[in-house]
Amino acid sequence: MFVFKNAWKSVIRNKGRNILIAIIVAIIAAAATIGLSIRQSANTARETGLENTSVTGQISVDRSKLINASSTSSSSSSGSQPDFSAIREALSDKELSLSDYQKYAKLSSVSSSYYTETTSLAETDSFQPVSTTSSSSSSSSSSSGSSDSNAQQPGGGMGGGMESTTSSGDFQLVGFSSDEAVKNASNGSFTMTSGEVFDYTTSSDKQVIISKSLADFNNLKVGSTITVASATDSSKTYSLKVVGIYKNTTESSTSTGGPGGGSTANDAANAIYTSVSTLKALGLDASSKVTTTDSSGNSTSSAAAQISYTYVFNDESSFKSFKTQAKKAGLSSDYTVSSADVEEYESSLIPLNNLSQFALTLLLIVLGVGAVVLIVLSLFNVRERKYEVGVLTAMGVKKSKVAAQFAIELLIVTMIGLGIGAVAGAATSVPVSNQLLASQVAQQESETSSQQAQFGRGAAGPGTSSGSSSSSSSSGSGTGSGTQAAAPTQGNGGGQFGAQAVDYVSSVNSTVSLSMVGQLILIGLGLTLLSALVGVIFVMRYEPLQILADRS
């Protein structure tokens, strides 16, 4: 009891020095609170950002793995020249069939699924694609097959999985399996201006909906009949009935043909939507085969349409569970499971992760400098009170109790400063964090814009926004924490080629939780023990008689 009373009296007696120590500790605590708040927000965003949000996933061929494996084996036997035939053979017949996709859709982690089948069609004299050139960029007599030239890539957005295909035809005929598939069309969302969307039974076979631009270009209306040709055989035509006309949310062309104009099939305006039942009735579904002949007269057979199958999961954990279940269900290592939603969300966390790393570095620097300052002050404190130490020890007080008194004094002052700093940090952590995060977002967007400009592209496609469009929050053991996060963007919707629309996490809303309070207490105790250790060492080294003799 003597030690505590004496420590408290010393705290009151040496107000100036102790106030200085409290101010230093308060600054350290405030900086630590802000740093811990930022890191807590980053961890919360990573762990719970997609916890209550449905995500989509796709199964695709791991082409890089197959190419590398084939290149390695062929180069070892044939020198440096790749064996292109072996590589093509390794990649051939790897696309999953519809039944394969549907088998994995039955796994317990899958909430729902949908798919599209996409093929190419060519123009006829009575039905022309929307184009700014005098003639279609690719004629119906093109010798390359639609399936051979399809380039598969993951779709974007919530409900992605649609594939953007590069085709030799003039139109893309896209068959949908359900309303959910239509809702998540790769060309982006759209609204009906007249008519209605087809259903998915055989009773609506050969019914299609077309864009308003395409309808206006060909002077068509609901009830009109259009005639299109096979992309591989111009003599083969198909008659389709227009039951609806839609308008894209963006009217920008998605053509990526480059100088001279690419295939008009890549223009969103030239997309013809129907049901997968229609493609089956026309013999243009994925189970049907088309034969193409190249310039050398070699014939190849390939699927008439390409499948894009999308699995929907209730949350990110279900998606991760699906990856494990699919492997157990027999999915070969030649395939990979991916989610554009997860990838885009992780991309949106880049500024927050950068800020979290910066906060950690700043926190370590502040703690290091603060520890040095406190050690120096503690050292001067002990040296100034050297005579007091000599008197107490000469009176019979053990050195350990004297050292404990100095440690308790420092602990009292440190806890007071820690409390003041924690309150100040909690009050300022949100605005300061958001200000720092805003600068990180601006820097990231500037880097992206500069990179796109370097390649002669726009910074992002239409529909990209820098603000927050949805929120993701998580309650901890304390008062809770959360981040304002942007939802993954939808489709390519006419965006620039190569530009990925990412809505970065733009703000944090993280308050002090119990875990953060515990970390602050540990920081305070650590600084106290480290600083007091110096005083303890000096106290234990002092000899009371020598001190009194020197004083005399």
As a three-state string, the secondary structure of 288-303 is CEEEEECCCCCEEEEE
Which residues in the chain land under pLDDT 70? 66, 69-93, 133-168, 250-262, 293-299, 451-502, 506, 508-512, 539, 542-552
Q: How far apart are CA 464 and CA 503, in angstroms?
A: 7
Whole-angstrom distance, CA of residue 10 vs CA of residue 215: 89
| pLDDT attached to residue 431 | 82
Q: How far apart are CA 131 and CA 253, in angstroms?
A: 10
In this predicted structure, what is the pLDDT of residue 49?
A: 73
Residue 180 to residue 115: CA distance in whole angstroms: 9
Residue 477, pLDDT score: 38
How many angstroms separate the Cα of 84 from the Cα of each of 89, 90, 150, 376? 8, 10, 19, 71
Check: CB of residue 487 under 8 Å from CB of residue 503: yes
Residue 371 pLDDT:
86
Phi, psi of 378 (to 5 degrees): -65, -40
Per the CB < 8 A criterion, the answer to whether 161 and 337 are in contact is no
Domain spans in the chain, listed from the N-terminal domain onward: 2-48+350-446+506-551, 111-312+460-493
- Candidates 171, 152, 174, 172; CA nearest to 163 is 152
pLDDT at 508: 67
Amino acid letter for position 465: S
How far is the C-alpha of 127 from the C-alpha of 222, rounded, in Å?
Answer: 15
Record the pTM: 0.66
